Each structure stands twice: as C-alpha cells, then as structure tokens.
Structure 1
Amino acid sequence: MRVLVVGSGAREHAIVLALAQDPEVTALACAPGNAGIAAVAELHGLDVTDPSAAADLAKEWRADLVVVGPEVPLVAGMADAVRAAGIDCFGPSAAAARIEGSKSFAKDVMAAAGVRTADSEIVDNPARLDAALARFSPPYVVKDDGLAAGKGVVVSSDLEVARAHASTLLDGGHPVLIEDFLDGPEVSLFCLVDGETVVPLLPAQDFKRVGDGDSGPNTGGMGAYAPLPWAADDLAGQLVDQVVAPVAAELVRRGVPFQGLLYAGLVLTATGPAVIEFNCRFGDPETQVVLALLRTPLAQLLRATATGKLAGEAPLEWADGAAVTVVVAAEGYPGTPRVGDVITGAEAEGVLHAGTRRRDDGAVVSAGGRVLSVVGTGADLAEARAEAYRRLEGVHLAGSHHRTDIAARAAAGEVAVPSAE
C-alpha cells in the first residue's frame, strides 16, 4: 500500500512513524512534512489549503491511500477532491467536517442527537454582545465559532477580558460562541468512524494552557498523556454509547456520514460527560501518545475506515503501560514565535518534529510555534513521564519553553471526577 500523509506537524510525524511500522505499507510520502518526517518518508511540496493540488499529487505519486492530518484542508474539501480522483482518503467530507469547522453546526447536531453539551449562545453582532454576556455567569467561556487552531478560546472570570476577546473576534468578522463553563477533568476521545460504525482509541488528556498549573493563554496543546489511570475502565465504551455513536448516527441521518477520525473533547462533570467540542481529525498532541501505545497496524485500520469496511476489523490491540508527551515551543508562542534558531538533539529517539525545517547546511532549525513533541513511555504514568522529561533534557533550542507539570497530577493520583453529592 502506497500511503500519502498530508500535514507538517508532530501529529503527522506520529502518524508517519506508525505507518512506517506497518508491513502493508510499501511506500510512504508526506506533504509538505518537516525535517523529522524526512527521515521516514518522501517529502513533497504542497499548499495544504488547495484540495485540487492534493488530489493531483496523490494521482501523480500513485497513492493508494491519502491520510489528511490537519483540519483546515478537511474543512476546505480535500477529502472530497481526493475521492473524486478515485483514490481512497482517510478524512471526512467538507460537509461532515463542519462538525469542527462550525461550532454552531456542532451544537445543532448534538441537540438533535440528544448529546449533552454546555448551554451556549451565538453572537454575530457587536450590538448584542453585552446582553448575551449578561445571560452567563463567570467563568465566561468565549470561542471563535470557526477554526482557530486551539487558540480562539478564552476562559476567564473577568467580564472585561471575556468581552475584549469577543469584541476582537467580532471586529474580525468572526461570530462568537459564548457558553457555560463545565467543571471536571477533560478527556480527549479519538474514534475511527465509518458511518454508524464507531471504534474508540485510548482516551487521553491534553494540556491547553501555556504555563504550569494551567496558567496563561490557551494554545494548540502543550502536552498529553494516555491512558487515564483515574478513569473508569469502560470509559471509552460509555462515551461511545452516550456521545459519539449518537452524533455519528445524526450525521448519517442528515446525509453527511462521517468517515475518518472523529475527536470528542469532553469534560467529566459531577452529573456525567458533556462535550466541549468535536474535531474532525486526530488531535495534536494526543495523537503522539495514543499512537505510541497502539499495536494494531495502522494502515489497514485507516483504509478500512476510508472504504466502509471498519466493521469487519478485529478488536484493537494496545501495549501495556502509558505514554506522555511534552511540547517544546518557540520563544513568543502562543503569540508570534521566533523562528530560524538551531535545534540540537532533535533527532533522538522519542522526539517528534512539528515546526522544523532543515537548512541548506544540514542544521535543523525552528519554523513554527510548537517546534517538537518529546514522547516517553513506561510501565505506568510516572515512568512514562520521567522518560519524556529525561529525553527532553537532550533537546536544546534557544529561548524555548515547555511545561514541567505534564501528567504530574494524574501520576500522583490527584485527578478525580467530581462527585454528584
């Protein structure tokens, strides 16, 4: 099987590494890729916002399967263009990708499916903003209704901070979603979805805030771990039954069946799970830990999903133990990152590349905000965490920053679902 992966982040590096270990894969390419991915796959130039260019590349390269990593090309219709070219594609249609591309669409789908989520209100006119905010209590949750790479959300007890963020989004022509705050530990659940067939992967937890102790602004994600030692053993099954399967069925009912990776971001509240958001693709950085533990060959799973045959696949197999990833970010991130700095230690085991490129002189340099994901595995979360930070000690990038507390509370047994009492 010849597999072409679209994207350039650590998520795509993790996907490419998993595909490279699958004996069914005879050729592997990535577009546009990065300096780390180049060690395991052919790299091809590609504008990921151009669906027809991706279809042309897939035909030229004679791909049997295209795996689209990021949300932007999926929302733009890349999977549709690749399928129209007669090539199997892992990724939803543009119509189904609206589950991520429009939070208001996602809320409507969840309401129809009877899936619990935070009460919310869409504001598309600045004149209605103050009245809408007055209908909510702190902490205020204000989101960009469209795609924002994980950075369009502000959660604050300060009304003026919430109002300023909403005003900035509205001034830029972006409708705003205001919603109730959900209290409890967060869970990221990835599910392979083929119409109404849903196969969950291991639940994970990521860390959105830039600083230790969940301080500072939201980011695309600063680290993650899997599995969740504090969660019920049957959590994935419960969430499929209560959340993902009803949403998948509702999308089928609407004539926009989902085919690809449906990612439910949830909070486990005292009164049960509630959805924060749905994404239409593998999440970053959770993919880095989930795929580190997957033992079922990945290519066949993705192709079965893409071709309507997921129901016939055997149960997934997982490694024992745990995995932790820590993101190394460039100076300035999540604002404007400094780029072009030399990175050393980036080719060591467990180091996945995101915002990197290789200079003409052979040096690997930073080329984005989130630069690397360092992954550690171990018999339990404490061991995996120690290994990730040990590996991180060998990585050097001037001015970079990372969180020092990824998975610390979970490893110490300090995470729990709130009691209903």
Structure 2
Amino acid sequence: MNESLHTVTTMPTERRPGCPFDPPEELIEAREHGPISRFPFPDGHQGWLVTGYDLVRAVLADPRFSSRKELMRHHPTVDMGDFEVPPAPPGEFLLMDEPQHGRYRKPLVGKFTVRRMRLLTERVEQITAEHLDAMEEAGPSADLVTAFARPIPSIVICELLGVPYEDRGSFQENIDKFLGGEADDAELMAAYTATQRYLAGLVAAKRANPTDDVLSDLLDSDLTDEELRGIALVLLSAGFDTTANMLALGTFALLRNPEQLAALRADPTLTDQAVEELLRYLSVVKTLMRTTLEDVELGGRTIKAGTTVILSYSTANRDPERFTDPHVLDLRRRDGGHLAFGHGIHQCLGQQLARVEMRVAFPALINRFPTLRLAVPAEEVALRPEIADVYGVKSLPVTWDV
C-alpha cells in the first residue's frame, strides 16, 4: 500500500454503473493510498478526508473533534462563501458537544435500551405482517419503498413519540425533503418550517393531555417546549429515514446476491448476523463531519485547530485492514464491529430499535414471498443521489409468483 499523502480534489457524487452498493470509486481509491487524505473544500479551506476504519473510529471517540453546527463552515460540494452557520437549535443534540449534548441525550437513553426495544418486537411483527398482507392482496407487484420499507419504521417511531397515525404521511413527506438530496432551498425551508410548526403543536398537545409515549415522558424534565420540539425532530428524522433506506436497499442487495438470500431464508439463526452485515456493507449514512478544537495528531498528520474533517463511514466499513474481503456481502461474516451506527458519545441512540425492525422485517418479507424478485432491470432501480444525507433507493419495483 502506498502511504504517501494523497489528495481527493472533489467529493464524488456518483457511484460506478452497476455497483450501487459500493462506495464511489474515488473514495475506494483514496483508502488504497492510506487512511487519510487531504481534501480542499470548494471555498478553499484545506481539510482532510478520513477513509480508514481505525482513524474514523478514533475521531468519533475524541472530544477534540467537535460536532457543533456553527463550526461546520465548509461544505464538501458547495462554496458557502461568507455564510455564518448558526448554532443548532435547542434540542437538536446531534450537532452539539458536551455538556449540551449530554443534557438532551441522557433523558432519552433509558427509553431506547436493548430490553425496551425488544419488548417492541411483537408490535413490529404486527405492523410488518399488516403491510405484507396488504402487499399480497394488491400484488403480485409492488414498490417495496412505499408498500413496506417506509411505513414500518414510520409507524413505529410515530407511535413511540405519540404522533397521531393520520399525521404520519405529511411528516414522512417532509423528512424525505430534508434528507433526500433533491429538494431546492425553498422546498427545504418550507418543509422545515412546516415540521417545526407541527411539532410545536404536538408538544403543546402533550402538555395538555399526556399519553403513553416518549415525548410525554419527557414533560416532567426541565426541558422547555422549544427543546422538546428539537428532540422530537431529531428522533423522528433519525428513527425513520435511515431504517427505511436500510430495508429497501438491503432487500435490493439481497436480491442481487441470491446465494446470500437463500442462506438467510434457509437459516433463521442467521438473521442477527445478516442485519449487521447489511449495515456494514451498505453504510447508508455515508459521511459525517467534525471540526478540530485544537491541533491534533491523526494518522501521523497534524490536523490544525479549526480544520474540517470528513469521515467516510462507507470506506471505513469496507477497510481491508479491518474486514476480510470487504466488498463481498457475506451474511456469515464473523469480523463484526462496523461503524454504521457511529461510535463514541454520538453513537446512534436508536440503533437497538433499528435492529429490531430489520430483524423482524427482512425474514418476514423473504419468507412471505419466496419468489420475490426485481420487476425491472437492476440498472433501472432509481437511487437517491450521492449528495443525499442518507443513501438508498427512491423506489424498488418488485414482483413475485402467485
């Protein structure tokens, strides 16, 4: 391996034709040169791109690398000019450091424990079965995104937070605009404003009439209504979009790897390993950014204070120094420890919920429809653009024998 200092001149926005599950070729090439590369941002800022597993994990665990929104002044694909990025709104703790981050996250930790999420299994099974029933009745074809992958996590997270069922559609549509990578600035602002207005009303409704849900449970804390609104936005966004895209893109990957699909269908004990391997292999949350608060040594390089660093989850989870045959989907893989849920204090709060949903949904789908297959050529499956915050498919036409 050539450990000389490599430069990635632009952030790639396309994947290789016929390889929708692999990271863009330029990022794979960067990792082959070493775990860290220089990255000149469009506005001229000299930053870094971290592609190696060990270094990505080290940055995520190091408090000298900040998550604060107001420090993210440089965008990997857009010259932001002199635009001053405001701090994260109250409650939106993903873009905060300690102690603010901990103040918002700690009251939530007990709501998303392994035990509590496992208790949800029966409800997830019920929701999944209802949507499979509807698919079967309407079949023998469907768009798996709208019929299966989106509604399951959407209903689950809405029930957890106490969002009325009839409001789910508009919330889902607005989240798609936030994270889908195709809305223009006006659409993004309209979707954000509408969501904030809705959540303000939801918090007020919970104040007046608390129910059995996570949002109501937080009413006894010292959190303000504005902070509760921000927390709800984080949980709704993170709890829906990532899992929805994992379910759809994961099914696409299984259909493109029929021997792995057959192994999962034949051996239910493989389910937990299969979910972890799909999380590693797909890495739907592709990148994250951090900004250094002081000079830091990383991978033999000095990262100066105030420097923006891009962390590539997709290449870290395909690092050949960490995973054997990293570009192969192997549901029996034993070398776990992927970074799909991050690491450190910002590790995904809802990871156990996502695991429950996937452990239920994947086997239920492939067992209900043994002949499930793509209804269009694989190259015609519509994918989210690479600039989207979360990677996935926009639609997944499938069919089966009746």
TM-score by length of 2: 0.28
Which structure shows the bigger proportion of residues in helix conformation?
A: 2
Relative to total residues, which structure has the larger strand share, 1 or 2? 1
Structure scoring higher RCO (CA < 8 A, sep ≥ 6) equals 2
